[in-house]
Amino acid sequence: MIKVKTYAKINLTLEVLNKRSNDGFHNIQSIMQNINLFDILTFKISKSKLNNEIILSGNVSSIPYDNSNLVYKAIDLFLKKACIQNNKFEVYIEKNIPIEAGLAGGSSNAAATLAVLNNYFCNILNQNELDELCCILGSDLNFCLKGGTCLCTSRGEVVQKLNDIKELHVSLIKPRYIGIKAFYAYKKYSEQKIKIKNDNTIKLAKIIQSNQFDKNFLYNDLETQLVNEFDEFMYIKKIKPSAIMTGSGSVFYIVNDTFDYYDFNPDKYLIFNNIKTINKGYEVL
């Protein structure tokens, strides 16, 4: 049995630069930061008489456990790249990170899966090969593999390690019945007529590199259009104007503050108070 914690991330900044002509993605600049909200993956690896078997299960019914799951895709891609055969992989996914929330839950699961398998098979792939697999699977995986505090550019897969931020206290809130897919958030951003350019990412990166932090530079380009589309988002911003959306949503976060339970109906909102920043993307237990 191998167990690994896979940590969520928040975007301290997310700025959209332009739309790419070659693949339809957007070029961004973003500072991503891990927090100690995590899923736990349990791996059981054994020999198989068949070519390879991948069997997923978990504690929630809202995610698929078939070949559309990022963990399944990560295992399959790794085995093909490493030319490994005749193994059975059983993975139990204990989900605590909300899905379609901008927290990179699925991406962190998949990145940690690649790291676990590579370690199990005696580092058969080098770091560049692992990074290439991450890039194939999604835009956030390269960050999830590196972890901590990072400047992410291109579509998010080009990752530069920054000085790890001294521990911050973060609180999260998610409308229970709203999940947003990234393509929809970027589509709404593209429809926005006036696009603000403030270069907060580079400004905050310089501050972080001087071992300081300034929450006044927290920012997300994708937030404006989406806030106006959902009453729940508008209510969050009304109660906590400093709340910032992470990724493509639907989670908002605040730094060094908490969401008061009496302000938010627990039937409509899920709150995570007293979360802390952390300097790793995953942790083998």
Of 9, 146, 174, 240, catalytic: 9
199 is an active site residue: no
Distances (CA, A) of 21 to 25, 27, 250: 8, 10, 27
Angle at 6 between CA 116 and CA 281, to 5 degrees: 85
Q: What is the largest CA-CA distance in the chain?
A: 59
CA pair distance 95, 168, nearest whole angstrom: 24
Residue (of 285, 208, 256, 263) closest to 7 by Cα position? 285
Of 5, 73, 131, 140, catalytic: 140
Distances (CA, A) of 147 to 33, 151, 165, 265, 267: 7, 11, 12, 33, 33
9 is an active site residue: yes
Please give the structure tokens belonging to residue 156: 């998010």
**Is the link from the previous residue into 250 a cis peptide, with omega within 30 of 0?**
yes
Distances (CA, A) of 68 to 59, 64, 72, 132, 160: 17, 7, 7, 19, 29
Residue (of 79, 12, 89) closest to 43 by Cα position? 89
- Residues 40, 211: contact at Cβ < 8 Å? no
- The residues carrying an active-site annotation are 9, 140
